[in-house]
Amino acid sequence: MANDLKPKNYSLDELLYNLLYDYQYRNNFLNDEFNELNLSADNLNHIKTIDKEELVATAATIVRNLMSGNIEHKGGLRTSFPGVFQALEILETDITLLMHKFLASKHFECYMELPYAGEGTCIEEAFYNYLSENKEFILAADNNHLLLKHEFLNAILSILTVNKYPFFRIDSDLVKNNGHIYYAYQTYSKEIAEALSGKKVASDSEKVIWLYAATERNLIRGPIHPSILEMVEIGGSREINRQQKFKQDQIDWILNLGLIKNDG
Amino acid sequence: MSTVYQKIKFPNVKEKLGLGLGMDLPWGDDIGFSSKGDHDDITLKMKGFFQNYKDEFNYIFFAFQPKNRSVLKAEDYFDAYDRLFEANPHLKARAFHQTILNMGATEYYKKTEIIEFTNKIIERYDIKWIVEDLGLWSIKGKTVPFPLPPYMTPAGLEACIKNINEYQSELAVPVSVEFPGFTEGTNFFIGEINGFEYFRTLVEETNSPITIDIGHILSYQWLLGNTNEKMFNGLEKLPFENCFELHLSGCQIIKGKFRDLHHGVLMDEQILLLDYLLPLCPNLKAITYEDPKYTDEGILIPKSQKNYQRMKEAVEKWQMI
């Protein structure tokens, strides 16, 4: 390889990041495949002091924390994506390996856990993006992508209910802001909507709009009439009243729920 | 007064504070902060403990734990911290254990928000010093499960010096730099410079006060093979004149590995090292019992009682000198 095409040697930070989060890079180190590590002679010398057993234990703890806890006390991805993990288990997916692959992905790299360290997404969005690209999971069942999207929206809107001024970036165009609240919606078949709500959904149409909204006080989710969505998208009572096409009791109802701004 | 002493930027604490309390207070734990609606508080269990031991601890530090995923804002924490200090009106001093200074990092990261946040806490609560373990608490914006020692390399040392100088100049009170944990069972390290020499160079270059965590020292000694009667070997390399504070937290040797478990039970070796260090640190002001464990009634757990008493007696004896 010509010198100018040679990849730059990893810095200490990059080296540590790779050891902690990139399972293949870590395996190269554990197997003494030093030529694969892309390190300067100095840094190759520095890594001799690493206790391999402790490195493996630390990497395992990182995966365990991400899956089962340490994010907002008792959270973890298993809590945010219960149905998805159940579906992965049905597929007999090696979940630990899947998590290691997620940690080594560009999506995980985009995740920012700390408020001051720069811009990045939350872990839930990173995981959603990662799994959306996992064909084995997505194609295994008709509703797997729908389930993933539903649980992602539930999770992120729950977080936004508690964190009005999140430090993380929201890249997904599924999540919107009407100037008053964050919200998202999906159109589901009546059958799916009824399965999600666990009861009959009153609708003349076979398609049902499902709202996820982070209001001042609560996470609001469930089936809504198209006119309600229209008002949520407008965002404020002044404009809604000006248009004179919405029923007053509906306007009062969504104002009371805190889905729109009361601006006259 | 030595010239070295004059250069060190010690916290503004004139008298020996004696024994203090250090607490990690995660949100939602039974020893931690609770959040209900708009109201934050400490737990009942903690209130009982503070009441029971109010005559035994003269100062307190608590460790920063993020409350939520919002933009970092000191005001979001005032309610909880107000409650903590209301429950401890008798204290002579307060300190703040930061967990986000990340002084071992070689990567660039913005410190403005961290400094602004910390200074607001210092100002509101008359915090006398900041303490944080020298090390890597996060990398590329992701925390590591346990803080790792800094890179024990020349570049790592240079980065620590730069980071510490920045914090010492921007924070309203001194940072007492804590000797890193090299605890087996929780972390590993990169680089080959001797830990005591590294620490000495660093504090000489930054004129920083230091905190010696006795468990961290022992864990490093165990790693070097300096166990049992050899546990004092090489300690003379530590910059004792800079030592402002000592930490003692519950440790244990499990399968030959030294574990810094913070379970409240002090080892005999920690008391021995405390006795050894007390006369060697001329500028020592504070000795912190970190993360005590207690019953729901706020009484120290039985296993911790014996060496807690030994530590207390050693501190009282030292205070009278």
Burial of B36 (0-12, 13-18, 19+ CB in 10 A): exposed
Residue labelled with tokens 């009959």: A200
List A residues 70-129 in contact with B (Cβ-Cβ < 8 A).
70, 72-74, 109, 111-118, 120, 122
Mutation target vs B (from A13, A40, A62, A74; most B CBs, 10 A cutoff) = A13
Chain B nearest CA to A25, separation (Å): 16
Tell me, rounded to whole angstroms, the distance of Cα B293 from its chain centroid.
17
Residues of A whose CB is below 8 A from B72: 115-116, 167
Full-model pTM:
0.93
Interchain CB distance below 8 Å, A114 and B186: no
Residues of A in contact with B114 (CB under 8 A): 116
Q: What is the pLDDT of residue A72?
A: 46
Tokens at A249, concatenated: 């009791």
- pLDDT band at residue B258, thresholds of 50, 70 and 90? confident
| ipTM of this predicted structure | 0.92
> Which residues are CB-neighbours of B317 under 8 A, at least 6 positions away?
none
Q: To the nearest whole percent, how much of chain B has pLDDT over 70?
A: 98
Give B119-171 as a DSSP string: HHHHHHHT--EEEEESSEEEETTEEEEEEEPPPBSHHHHHHHHHHHHHHHHHS
**Cβ proximity of B236 and B197 under 8 Å:** no
| The predicted structure's pLDDT at residue A141 | 93
Q: Do B70 and A164 touch (CB under 8 A)?
A: yes
Report whether B100 contacts B64 (CB < 8 A): yes
Listing DSSP states for A54-67 in one string gives HHHHHHHHHHHHHH
Could you report how far apart the first and last alpha carbons of chain B are, in Å?
18
- The pLDDT tens digits of the residues spanning A62-73 come to 999 999 875 444
Determine, for residues B71 and A165 on separate chains, whether the beta-carbon distance falls below 8 Å: yes
Chain A: closest CA distance from residue B65 (Å): 11
Q: Is A207 on the interface with B (CB under 8 A)?
A: no
Compare all CA atoms of chain A with the CA of B223 and give the residue at the minimum distance.
A51
pLDDT at A71: 43
The span from the CA of A135 to the CA of A128, in Å, is 13
- What CA–CA distance (Å, rounded) separates B109 from B136? 13
**What are the pLDDT digits (tens) for B40-49?**
999 999 999 9
For residues B32 and B34, what is the distance between their CA atoms, to the nearest angstrom?
7
